[in-house]
Amino acid sequence: MRAIVLLCLLGSAMAEDDSFSWGGPGKNVVDPAENNVCLTDQASCGCCLMQQQIHRMETFFNMTLNQLEKELIKTMTVLNNVRDSRSAFSVALTNEDSLTCFGPFRDDKVIAYKHVFINLGNGYSVDTGIFTAPRSGVYSLALTVYSDAGSPGNSLAACATLQVNGQVVAGPREKNMQDQEDSATIVVALHLLAGDIVAVSLPIGCFLCDNNSHYNTFTGFLLYATD
Ligand SMILES: *[C@@H]1O[C@H](CO)[C@@H](O)[C@H](O)[C@H]1NC(C)=O
Ligand SMILES: *[C@@H]1O[C@H](CO)[C@@H](O)[C@H](O)[C@H]1NC(C)=O
């Protein structure tokens, strides 16, 4: 019994030693010296094989764990990237109790939407009305305009243009004398580059009216980043 325990201890000591060749995980290389031990002492042979097997499994699990740790770090990096690039804004023209109109003006004028529902990532400036894309990606942009001519028969001009870097992308337009009120909406998905400037411009003659019912809204959010 004592001899078997001793052999086992010897076996485990050899297993710790780097020079001990055990074949690596998955391989079944049998050491000839070990074969001799197996011939002379069946019981200690079983014990040594078990030690070998345990060592092999330990190495295998260590490798698997290392791999998983690497994957986890990679995943966390991607997740943090996604979190950092969150960008969403949604604003309304005003939050006044009484209906207030913006325009008409003699020149095109950028509309500074004053009421902020959300401005995640602070891409929207309430002072200028300009949204600056924090990073390149596909953005969803929506614009709803509403106007009130004041009384039937007055000319109505519910119009605005969505612009990227000063270029018109789309523009809802309702100009007539048949309605007192009108509303129009556009929604687009655009690939913007980091630093691109998005704004809503009020063309000459157009005017928009609103109160805290928020009939005029401007919304944008990053669908996914492309850099
Ligand atoms: C497995 O990892 C543990 C902790 O890092 C280490 O103590 C042990 O020696 C490793 N075993 C093998 C077989 O690599
Ligand atoms: C906003 O103005 C419209 C049109 O005058 C009116 O019908 C509506 O009740 C007003 N909204 C609020 C919250 O007062």
pLDDT in tens, 77-131: 989 988 888 999 999 999 999 999 999 999 999 999 999 999 999 999 999 999 9
Q: Going by CA atoms, what residue is nearest to atom 4 of ligand 1? A: 62
Pocket flag, ligand 1, residue 53 (CB < 6 Å):
no
Residue 32 makes CB contacts below 8 A (sequence gap 6+) with none
Ligand 2 centroid–CA 142 distance in Å is: 22
Using only C-alpha atoms, the chain has a radius of gyration, in whole angstroms, of 36
Collapsed DSSP state (helix, strand, coil) of residue 143: strand
**Residue 209: nearest ligand to its CA?**
2
Pocket flag, ligand 1, residue 155 (CB < 6 Å):
no
Ligand 2 is surrounded, with C-beta below 6 A, by 99, 211-213
What tokens were used for 34? 């070990």
**Residue 100: nearest ligand to its CA?**
2
C-alpha separations of 87 from 119, 121, 123, 137 in Å: 8, 5, 7, 11
pLDDT reported for residue 103: 94
One-letter amino acid at 139 equals Y
DSSP string, 147-163: EE-SSTTS-EEEE-EEE
pLDDT reported for residue 188: 98
pLDDT along the chain (227 residues), means of 10: 44 44 49 60 81 94 97 94 90 97 96 98 97 96 96 92 97 88 96 98 96 98 91
Pairwise CA distance, residues 149 & 100, whole Å: 11
